[in-house]
A and B are shown apart, each in its own frame.
Chain A
Amino acid sequence: MRSRSPWLLLLPSLVLMAALFGWPLVQAVLAAFRDEGGFTLAHWQRLLTDPYFLPALRNTVLLIVIVLPVQLALAIGMALLVQARPRFIGGHFYLWCVPLAISELAAGLVWLSVFDNRGYLNSLLVSLGLSENGVQWLSYENTTTMLLTVVIAEIWRATSLVFVIVVAGMQVIPRDYDEAAQVFGASLGQRLRHVTLPLLMPSLQVALILRTILALQAFAVAQALTGRDFPLLVGETYEWYVNLRNPAVSSAVALVVLALSLGTALLYLRTVRQPEGAR
């Protein structure tokens, strides 16, 4: 009786997850490789010849490569500020966490009010006399500025998550380690390099994996800011399903996202691991 009861408690969650995750996953794989006539690669050919797919892949990867290091550095810096316990840190902490609960779409709209042609940034530039009519930040001809706006919006929206993970990680590191480093003559930089960051590695790993997986799924920010002018992989899934009504190709794009997710997770687990025996 005693040994059976945990499984009774776990059963509902297992059933629900199998029904809503397991089965659809199998269906997604089948859909991407099958049509009425059985196995086919036609959906993949269609996807690869689509002019939006490669830019979407490139943009997605580019976004991650640019945004993640910035977020990591920013979040570590913010966490160190929290550790310094300045005045009003409660208020700062609240503001730094607000984006946690802000959806991608809302974040995109927020930055739209800034980067719009007649938005706040251009208003500022024009009234300062730095520009005559403002910069067309979101124009489809301006790939660089589009990337820049999406990068800024993503940093604004998702740094909080990394920040919270890093702060939580820092709080479980006993203060003794840092104090020992101080007494033994380490400067702030040396303490970071030799003590804080290595001990923080498990948290950083979690943050990196989670953020990469989430960043691979980003699309609404770009959608709100640029429409389809700055395509991202998940945006393509949405496009293929909702507007082009082609679930098969949509599934194929989704599988690309899945493969990238699993790939990066494995990569991080291999590279950011602690040396054997440490800890």
Chain B
Amino acid sequence: MTIDVRDPVRPAPMLPPVDVAPLRRARLRATGVQAACVAVSLFMALPIVLIGLAAVSSRAALAEFPKPLVPSEFALDSLLSFLRATGTLPALGNSVLAGLYAVFWSLVVGAPAGYALARHAFRGKDAYQMFILLVRALPIVVLSVPLATMFLRLDVYDTVLAVTLVHTALALPTTVLITASIFVSVPADLEEAAQVFGCTRWQAARRVVVPLALPGLAASSIFTFVLSWNELLGATVVTLGHRTLPAQVLTSLAEASVAYRFAGGFALILPALLFIFVMRRYLLNLWGTTLR
């Protein structure tokens, strides 16, 4: 009853057989890609595994040569003696404190600037951005020595505050750029709507923008913390007794035993594994695009 207005598909006399050679090529290529991925992953992961194994080897196992891949005897005494070594625990505390303070201050100082860049068009904006990029390019080593002198005079030398100041300044350009990109991605309409409904500009920013920007701000905070956790030169130069952990490890390196070095290295790496895991979704934005 119903008609088929579709063009009747002409029965093509002889269709050639399906050629699956390209599929085989594609599969081979995929295998190659996977093998390359595994190779790179091994290069990245193996050294961490090795130092981890070294850190949990007993002293006797560490002294063995040739060393087996898996230590003959596991023991936590290297790690424990590293933790018990003079200065380690206070240094750990200093590192955490300096990191947290730097996160706080870089956000308090940097986020408003980022907000201004994202929401306002004003004369001197380009100049300000240029200034920020220039500051990013300054090697910390140039600054650390005069900073140490300055801190000596201000009587903050060899304090967590001194390290905090250095790290805040270091993290500031990045914080400004990251927060600017975060605020750009929060629609200005929402904020204007809030103002229409009777919020002041400040209330609108606090009640509407901050909650939406929170995940990005958190990521930016971790970025600052990582920077502070890893920064070595500035922290070494502006402190003497109140070291951060990397500074402590660096200055003890010369007299340190092999066990201390491996345990210290592993202790410095562990947080890195966690940071990157927490941050993996934001990595591209933080280290990638906003660095321009």
Docked Cα-Cα span, A21 to B45, in Å, equals: 37
Selected from B54, B147, B233, the residue in CB contact (under 8 A) with A24 is: B147
Asked if A250 lies at the interface with its beta carbon under 8 angstroms from chain B, I say yes
Any A CB within 8 A of the CB of B265: yes
* B141 contacts partner chain A, Cβ-Cβ < 8 Å: yes
Interface string of A60-102 (1 = CB under 8 A from B): 0000000000000010011001001011111111111111111
Number of interface residues of A (CB under 8 A): 100
Q: Does B236 interact with chain A (Cβ within 8 Å)?
A: yes
Q: Which residues of B contact A101 (CB under 8 A)?
A: 226, 229-230, 271-273, 275-276
User: Contact at A25–B265, with CB atoms within 8 Å?
Assistant: no
From B8-16, B84-92, B108-116, B189-197, the one touching the partner chain is B108-116
Q: Does A216 contact B (CB under 8 A)?
A: yes
User: Is A5 part of the contact surface with B, judged by Cβ < 8 Å?
Assistant: yes
A55 within 8 A of B: no
B226: shortest Cβ distance to chain A, in Å? 5
A81 touches B33 (CB 8 A): yes
Please state if B143 and A99 are interface contacts (CB–CB under 8 Å). Answer: no
Q: What string of 1s and 0s marks CB contacts (under 8 Å) between B97-121 and chain A?
A: 0000000000011101101100010
B69 at the interface (CB under 8 A from A): yes
Question: In this assembly, does A161 line the interface, its C-beta being within 8 Å of a C-beta of chain B?
Answer: yes
Q: Least Cβ distance of A249 to chain B in Å? A: 10
- Distance between B59 CB and nearest chain A CB, rounded to angstroms: 13
Q: Smallest distance from the beta carbon of A3 to chain B beta carbons, Å?
A: 7
> Could you say which of B17-25, B168-176, B210-218 contacts chain A?
B168-176
Known: A87-B34, A110-B51, A113-B265. A16 touches B145 (CB 8 A): no
For A173, the chain B residues whose CB sits under 8 A away are none
Contact of A95 (CB < 8 Å), options: B45, B268, B288: B45
Interface residues of A: mostly helix, strand, loop or mixed?
Answer: helix
User: Contacts A13-B109, A168-B284, A223-B253 given: A86-B37 contact, CB under 8 Å?
Assistant: yes
Let me know if B1 is at the binding interface, CB within 8 A: no
Asked if A196 is at the interface of the complex by the 8 Å CB criterion, the answer is no
Q: How far is the CA of A121 from the CA of B170 in the complex (A)?
A: 37
Residue on B with the closest CB to A253? B141
User: Provided the pairs A167-B288, A213-B139 are in contact, do residues A98 and B250 lie with their beta carbons within 8 angstroms?
Assistant: no
Q: Please tell me if the beta carbons of A105 and B249 are within 8 angstroms of each other in the complex.
A: yes
The interface residues of chain B lying within 8 Å CB-to-CB of A244 are: none
| Contact residues in B for A184 (Cβ distance below 8 Å) | none
Q: Which residue of B lies closest to A21 (CB)?
A: B135
Alpha-carbon distance A234/B233, docked complex (angstroms)? 9
CA distance A156 to B30 in the complex (A): 25
Q: Given the complex of chains A and B, what is the CA–CA distance between A210 and B106 in angstroms? A: 21
Task: Mark out the residues of chain A between 181 and 228 whose CB falls within 8 Å of any chain B CB in the assembled complex.
Answer: 202, 206, 209-210, 213, 216-217, 219-220, 223-224, 227
Listed by A's residue number, 19 A-B pairs whose Cβ atoms lie within 8 Å are A5-B116, A5-B120, A9-B116, A10-B128, A13-B172, A25-B143, A81-B37, A97-B276, A98-B276, A102-B269, A105-B265, A105-B268, A123-B67, A168-B285, A168-B289, A172-B289, A223-B253, A247-B145, A257-B141
Known A-B contacts: A23-B150, A25-B138, A86-B34. Give 6 more (CB < 8 A): A13-B109, A13-B172, A97-B283, A118-B63, A217-B141, A223-B250
Interface residues of A (CB under 8 A from B): 3, 5-7, 9-10, 12-14, 16-17, 20-21, 23-25, 27-28, 31, 74, 77-78, 81, 84, 86-106, 108-114, 116, 118-120, 122-124, 126-127, 134, 156, 160-161, 164-165, 167-169, 171-172, 202, 206, 209-210, 213, 216-217, 219-220, 223-224, 227, 234, 237-238, 241-242, 247, 250-251, 253-255, 257-258, 261-262, 265
4 smallest beta-carbon distances between A and B, as pairs: A168-B288, A109-B265, A103-B230, A27-B146
